[in-house]
Amino acid sequence: MAVLKAFKAVRPIAELASQIAALPYDVMNSQEARMEAGNNPYSFLHVDKAEIDLDQSIDIHDKRVYEKARDNLNMMMEKGWLMKDKQDMLYIYKQVMDGNEQVGLVGCVSVDDYINNRIKKHENTRADKEQDRINHVKYCNANTGPIFLMYKAEEGVNEIIEHWMKNNSPIYDFTSEDGIGHMVWTIEDQRVIDKLIYLFQNIDNLYIADGHHRAASAVKVAMMKREENPSYTGEEEFNYFLGVLFPHNQLKIMDYNRVVKDLNNYTIEEFIEKVKENFIVEEYTDKGQYKPGKKHDFGMYLNHRWYKLTAKEGAYDDKDVVGSLDVSILQDNLLNPILGIKDPRTDDRIDFVGGIRGLGELEKRVEEGMAVAFSLYPTSVEDLMRIADLGKVMPPKSTWFEPKLRSGLFIHELE
């Protein structure tokens, strides 16, 4: 059973929602955040990436950054840009991108469900990134960014949400600069809240789609607070963290592509011959870029040309749910043995490009100095859940979910 809890959200006043809502902290660097926030004092980036309001010489993990995040959050509340609801509620968050809709239920989920693996993970986390968000949560005393969660679609939940949206007006309805529509409803009817909570008790597991570091840090802050409060009851807000829960069949995973700086001392001809050992290599003669149309096909942009790569039989084992992922096939048969990239998490010769940027970005990177780029077929939601159910983890940079949840629309205070 999955625990779902209503809460009193801190959220924007309606007229400022579109200006406050911001992309997640981890999809841009500090310089991009400075440009994104620009002349917008309302942007939630002033909380989630508070270094943009400090001198650029200050390290992004400096104590002053977290203090600034706390002060900016308090300022936004004091000025009335953000307000706190007076009763516990659930919320509906609908996003529309290119005509596709995903509708999530916003509430709090249980720290203990995470600990007991009812909230399933598919990625390893890094200690330094966890510590950054631990500090952020502690100083702000709040979950400022929601965890992107999914569950196996449940018709009863969907019917309630659809009925509520049809019969109630949204509190927010705006289109962000990237063309994505955002709509939010409040659910204040206790009977409806209780029904949804009951239905989630019949859902075995939740799955983290995006936000592994935020989830892990929220749980570690909760454990710290439990140690500080040995008589805790389990009902305190710090025992829960903020999530947006989507049915799996509404979600879209995009390709997560790779670019590499050099050919590891191979000539172009030598490199292609090495690739042919485990892939069928065909020069792509059609106009435009090669976007893989099925699993185990790859695109390669090299020396101003696109190639189609098809993994040969024997290059992977279909029974290995992780090893048969396309990101694994590329890593195990090309990036590691040929290009010498043993750990893509730490090797600075490789970079990753989310599919939202398009294949033109791969061409651009290569023309500007990278040696080779690879386009991949997207990992499926079903693969993600299967791997998480088996307690396994996916290779780094396996999934790119779009659209991204906006931060600043819902904040969960821990006390």
Phi, psi dihedral angles at 110 (to 5 degrees): -90, 135
pLDDT, position 413: 98
35 in a structural domain: yes
51 in a structural domain: yes
Residues 30, 141, single domain; the answer is yes
What is the number of domains present in the chain?
Answer: 2
Euclidean distance between CA atoms 273 and 195, whole angstroms: 61
Residues 237, 319, single domain; the answer is no
Cα separations in angstroms, 324 against 13, 354, 390: 48, 21, 15
385 in a structural domain: no
37 in a structural domain: yes
Euclidean distance between CA atoms 139 and 133, whole angstroms: 10
Residues 237, 277, single domain; the answer is no
Residues 174, 106, single domain; the answer is yes
pLDDT, position 126: 84
Residues 93, 143, single domain; the answer is yes
Residues 239, 294, single domain; the answer is no
383 in a structural domain: no
Residues 236, 319, single domain; the answer is no
Interhelix angle 127-140/63-78, rounded to 10 degrees, is: 40
Hey, is 407 helix, strand or coil?
Answer: strand
- The CATH number assigned to the domain holding 322 equals 3.30.1760
387 in a structural domain: no
Indicate the residue type of 256: Y
Domain of residue 320 covers 256-377
Residues 242, 262, single domain; the answer is no
Residues 199, 338, single domain; the answer is no
Q: Which of 204, 298, 304 is nearest to 248 (CA)?
A: 204
Give me the half-sphere count of Cα atoms (radius 13 Å) on the Cβ side of residue 380.
10
Residues 95, 196, single domain; the answer is yes
Average pLDDT per 10 consecutive residues for the chain, totaling 415 residues: 96 98 92 93 98 96 98 98 98 96 98 97 89 97 96 97 98 96 98 98 96 96 96 96 98 95 98 98 93 97 97 95 97 98 93 93 97 97 95 91 95 96
Euclidean distance between CA atoms 60 and 187, whole angstroms: 37
Please answer whether residues 63 and 50 qualify as being in contact, where contact means their C-beta atoms are separated by less than 8 angstroms.
Answer: no
398 in a structural domain: no
What are the pLDDT digits (tens) for 279-290? 999 999 888 899
Strands 119-120 and 206-210: parallel
Give me the half-sphere count of Cα atoms (radius 13 Å) on the Cβ side of residue 70.
13
Please answer whether residues 383 and 321 qualify as being in contact, where contact means their C-beta atoms are separated by less than 8 angstroms.
Answer: yes
388 in a structural domain: no
Residues 53, 87, single domain; the answer is yes
